[in-house]
Chain A
Amino acid sequence: MTAAAPEPKANMGQPVPRYDAVAKVTGRATYGSDMPLDNPAYAFLVTSAISKGRINSFELDDAKRVRGVIDIVTYQNAPKLKESKLFSNGGYAGTTIQPLKSADVAHDGEIIAVVVAESYEAAREAANRVKVSYTAITPAASFDSPGTTKAAAKGQNGQFKEDPQVGDFAKAFDEAEVKLTASYDTPTQHHNPMELFSTSCVWMGDDLVIYEPSQYVYGLKNGVAEQLGIDADKVRVVNPYVGGGFGSRGSMTPRTAIIAGIARRLNRPIKLVPTRDQGFTIATYRAETRHEIKLGASRDGKLVALRHEGAEVSSRADPYCVGGTKTTTRLYACPNVDSLVSIVRADRNTPGFMRSPPEVPYLFALESAMDELAVKLNMDPVELRRVNDTINEPIGGKPYTSRALMACFDEAAKAFGWAQRSAAPKSMSDGDWLIGYGCAATCYPTQMAPSAARVRLQRDGRTRVEIAGHEIGTGAYTIIAQTASERLGVPLEKVSVFIGDSDLPPAPVAGGSNSTASTCSAVMMVCDQVRQRLFKALMPNESLTDKAKETVGIGQTPTTQAAKSDRPLDLEKAFDALGVGVVEEYGEWKPEGAPLDSFKAMHSGHARLVGGAAMKDKIAYAFGAEFVEVRVNRFTHEIRCPRLVGAFAAGRILNPRTARSQLMGGLIWGMSSALLEATEIDERTARYVNDNFADYLVPVNADVPGVEVILISEQDDHINPAGAKGLGELANVGTNAAICNAIYHATGQRIRKLPVRLENIEV
């Protein structure tokens, strides 16, 4: 075992290498824009240079003269598309702002023309030669701009149903022995997945194939069909590999139907590879948020009052919000809780999911405030969490299905060396560098959604698993293969996995960290169907279900329980008895509490996620604790983070290697979010300024010399058959606060606005 492949503890699978590792490192993995097309035309986007106003005219002559230009599509000649509703209102779209519909411009970088040419180079050159005349209207850029409107999220966003409240906050806060009121800000951020927002569309008669990085092939298939006004069965979305998603590919963007419509009109495959800077405006982003936290506590640290008010920016068109109060009002024991989430409308593109959408900004506020409270109480921040730890969430009194928060704190504290901390601010240093230690809790709701799968087992043990899941770099292929291998008892190398194709059985969006729980629960169920068929052939009179459950191990591999079982299933005999060479089963699985229309919705590309705080009589979250060392230079005020240590408990860990990789990436992103990442908006024009990797900073290797991930063993039998809590979005939640808390410890300065830069430090 190595650091990359941690020794499995109880209730953990084997750290087998990635199923797709060789394909990826040898470049054989085919991403959307790698797909070979027959005689494609190439599209290049022209995007708006204003954020609000009208297009007066286009000058296209110069562009049309570029050799190889086939067509230039503007609102004047664009294919007519039907509208799609916002995903939260029963549609598929991440924005209802539909480009190329009229001369109006609703946000910076909106698609205003598509140049189609015989080569990418010609399309790009012609796009550069398109001249646009605008009448610009002064836009409202963000919170403080004139012309924004603000209203409660409840009532306008279908997915934000309630501002959680309990007890009498006002009275309890008023009477609290120790009080804290503090405001926190988080910036605009962009996902910037490595793979660009490409789209290739190929028509074969009335059938459309779309190659596009998507986190939801069924959503995209149905959404594009709706916009084109065709039967969803005519649309297929293929993406065996997705070069990162982070939420940016969870809902449909306008580009896909536009490219499909142009390809249909030209009767030719079209390939679009937008630029990095276009990715900042043609897809979604994390909007800036503001928070006010009020905490009241008794002198011994027990919370008596908690209020969290959040405000988020969205577009004029859509009431998107993340509303993280559902988590922050339930994380700690507190009898009097109040909350309010508001949406501020500005002249911006509609924001969308970005890794740990609600928890990242809202826990930054709460976990910073908890640290501030610990300082006021002169208490170790770890002990403050312990005093307020609870197995019942305070709003509805429902029990957590499992909660290892303090085990995570204790393990991580030990590994980090928290005990060596000198508690006073500015009390630790090393040469030019002030040293600070900080910590924070992290958590993420455990979510599941209906999923189907097809499993085919051959006489020789070769197994094929089909499920329209998504490999966004997380290890989906690997854990699905492991799940089938374990469940059927066939060797891992005999299992083939097919995902990323909407012609396969439907799986939910790869979002909300539900994929592992959903897809593996479905695969387990269908593997059981296969076993039962075989078992029934051999022992028609036995009680099928129970016996099949006992008789693990069709292939009798010595490492499985099959070898120990008194009556392992003889695969050859079973196939002989059945008189076939192949057994294939299809099944549809849904989690407990899934709504009645779940399976129908699953096929039509609407994910019905259940879990987290929304369950009837319980609440399910994964937990973790993060400790960081920050160094602040006395002279330059540069801030560096040499050590990140996190301990995480997330139910069954299917593969410690891929789990660690996910959590490590989360910790690094968390650090990046705290210290580097912000999309700068020009207040005058509501335009993004640093829309490229030179100016939008993410960490380089030198910024992350030490990252340690500790997997805590946890078994939870109350969530889903796979026993897995999602962990893809667990690790980058607590890091923002942990870093700011460490900066306070290093410098004595409390910083409540992200990202923290050297100019914010006053040593």
Chain B
Amino acid sequence: MRPFSYQRVTDPDMAVQVLSAAAAANNPLTKAAAQPLAGGTTLIDLMKLDVMRPAAIVDINPLSEGWSAVDPGGESLRLGALAKMSDVAAHDEIQRNYPVVANSLKLAASAQLRNMATLGGNVMQRTRCSYFRDVSYENCNKRNPGSGCAAMDGVNRMHAVLGTSDQCIATYPGDFAQALIALDASIEITGRSGTRSMPFAELHKAPGNTPEIETTLQPGELISAFVIPGRWPRSVYLKARDRQSYEFALSSAAVALDVQDGTISDARVALGGVATVPWRAREAEALLKGQRFDDALAQRAADAAFADARGRQHNGFKIALGKRVVARALQQAVTMEI
């Protein structure tokens, strides 16, 4: 860890101003000199590991009064970006009308972390790739652009099989993002020119040739809220992992269905633990829509979801596992009583 300045900001304009002032041209957001601090569960971790070295920490927790509201009342669900994961997971109406959201949060991290971590910080959390998090490994294109990727032919059991490039195979580690992308969520972004809205699906960037650029957010921009249109009581978050709690997904599926008279009128499928970014499986959705559900259909949808997957030495199992997880999540969603 290196010395840094700490500043608490009390209104959004001030936050944006301080964060923008520190921005430098051609520097990815993750290397910006000033970094916003919410729950701190990723940022502080990475600072201790010397992976992130911000000169300034901008504590945005005082904004939580305006930015942590949870409003499930209308035709859409609005979640403030500074709402705590635990509060949203425990919310009755969210459990009832958006079980995929509640469970993606409940099955993440540990109780202590969920009490600290915010929704905005959660979607911005960075990969758990061991080589990325250990600065003694020189080869990490995400940390040191152009240096190579130690994971590609190293220990890569936890790494991605979808959305990879020859530069980076680091997995996007979160759970909540899968629910957001599946449900066509949008995000509200507060920046220098006020507040704008953007589909959540446009937030994360696949590594391609620039794995150091992880999102489309610009320095000085903050996520202030998430909006999920519609209600999705028939939805499931299924997560397979090595231990029963406090562990990242080896494979997960966020599934939401609308079933009318036995026919799937709308289907949403997103994958976690297997891709470099929150991953929407549109091919699987297309197969499901308009069909009557049976196990063979679930299998075809699962196969379609992983049609482009590529495994490496230790993570090839994720393809077969991911398919079974998708198929099972679909079965659970179809049979759930709502």
Chain A to chain B: the 3 pairs with minimum beta-carbon distance, closest first: A759-B317, A636-B240, A702-B244
Within 8 A of B (CB), among A723-759: 757-759
| B241 and chain A: residue at smallest CB distance | A638
1/0 per residue, CB under 8 A from B, across A647-678: the answer is 00000000000000000000000000001100
Contact B325 A690 (CB under 8 A): no
Contact A689 B155 (CB under 8 A): yes
Contact A758 B245 (CB under 8 A): no
Contact B136 A49 (CB under 8 A): yes
How far is A124 from B128 in the complex, measured between Cα atoms in Å? 23
How far is A47 from B238 in the complex, measured between Cα atoms in Å? 41
Q: Give me 18 other A-B pairs in contact (C-beta within 8 A), A128-B2, A636-B325 excluded.
A: A49-B136, A124-B1, A125-B2, A635-B324, A635-B325, A636-B238, A636-B324, A638-B242, A675-B242, A684-B154, A694-B128, A695-B128, A702-B244, A703-B244, A758-B240, A758-B242, A758-B321, A759-B321
A701 touches B (CB below 8 Å):
yes
Q: Nearest-CB distance from A209 to chain B (Å)? A: 30
Contact B154 A690 (CB under 8 A): no
Contacts of A684 in B (CB 8 A): 153-154
How far is A277 from B137 in the complex, measured between Cα atoms in Å? 14
| B325 and chain A: residue at smallest CB distance | A636
Q: Nearest-CB distance from B301 to chain A (Å)? A: 15
Report 5 cross-chain contacts, Cβ distance below 8 Å, ordered by A residue: A128-B1, A682-B155, A697-B243, A699-B243, A703-B245
Of B135, B157, B245, B321, which is within 8 A of A700 by CB? B245
Within 8 A of B (CB), among A513-544: none
B250 touches A (CB below 8 Å):
yes
A640 touches B (CB below 8 Å):
yes
B134 touches A (CB below 8 Å):
yes
Q: What band does the interface of chain B fall in when counting residues whose beta carbon is under 8 Å from A?
A: 35 or more
Within 8 A of A (CB), among B230-244: 238, 240-244
Contact A640 B242 (CB under 8 A): no
A interface, CB within 8 angstroms of B? 47, 49, 121, 124-125, 128, 277, 432, 633, 635-638, 640, 675-676, 680-682, 684, 689-692, 694-695, 697, 699-703, 757-759
B110 touches A (CB below 8 Å):
yes
Question: A636 with B328: in contact, given A695-B128, A758-B242 (CB under 8 Å)?
Answer: yes
Contact B242 A697 (CB under 8 A): yes
Contact B240 A638 (CB under 8 A): yes
Contacts of B246 in A (CB 8 A): 700, 702
B131 touches A (CB below 8 Å):
yes
Contacts of A690 in B (CB 8 A): 130, 155
B interface, CB within 8 angstroms of A? 1-3, 50, 110, 128, 130-131, 133-138, 150, 153-155, 157-158, 238, 240-247, 250-251, 317, 321, 324-325, 327-328
How far is A637 from B251 in the complex, measured between Cα atoms in Å? 11
Contacts of B134 in A (CB 8 A): 277, 689, 691
Contact A676 B242 (CB under 8 A): yes
Q: Nearest-CB distance from B33 to chain A (Å)? A: 17
Contacts of A695 in B (CB 8 A): 128, 130, 158
Q: Nearest-CB distance from A678 to chain B (Å)? A: 10
How far is A702 from B107 in the complex, measured between Cα atoms in Å? 12
| B317 and chain A: residue at smallest CB distance | A759
Q: Nearest-CB distance from B54 to chain A (Å)? A: 14
Q: Nearest-CB distance from A610 to chain B (Å)? A: 40
Q: Nearest-CB distance from B113 to chain A (Å)? A: 11
Of A128, A676, A680, A689, which is within 8 A of B50 by CB? A128
Contact B321 A637 (CB under 8 A): yes
With a 10 A CB-CB cut-off, give which of B153, B241, B243 has the most chain A CB atoms.
B243
Of B153, B155, B242, B325, which is within 8 A of A757 by CB? B242
How far is A640 from B243 in the complex, measured between Cα atoms in Å? 8
Q: Nearest-CB distance from A711 to chain B (Å)? A: 28
Contacts of B250 in A (CB 8 A): 758
Contacts of B327 in A (CB 8 A): 635
Contacts of B243 in A (CB 8 A): 676, 697, 699-700, 702-703
Q: Nearest-CB distance from B241 to chain A (Å)? A: 7
Contacts of A680 in B (CB 8 A): 155, 157
Contacts of B133 in A (CB 8 A): 692
How far is A716 from B155 in the complex, measured between Cα atoms in Å? 50
How far is A695 from B248 in the complex, measured between Cα atoms in Å? 10
Contacts of B328 in A (CB 8 A): 432, 635-636
Contacts of A682 in B (CB 8 A): 150, 154-155
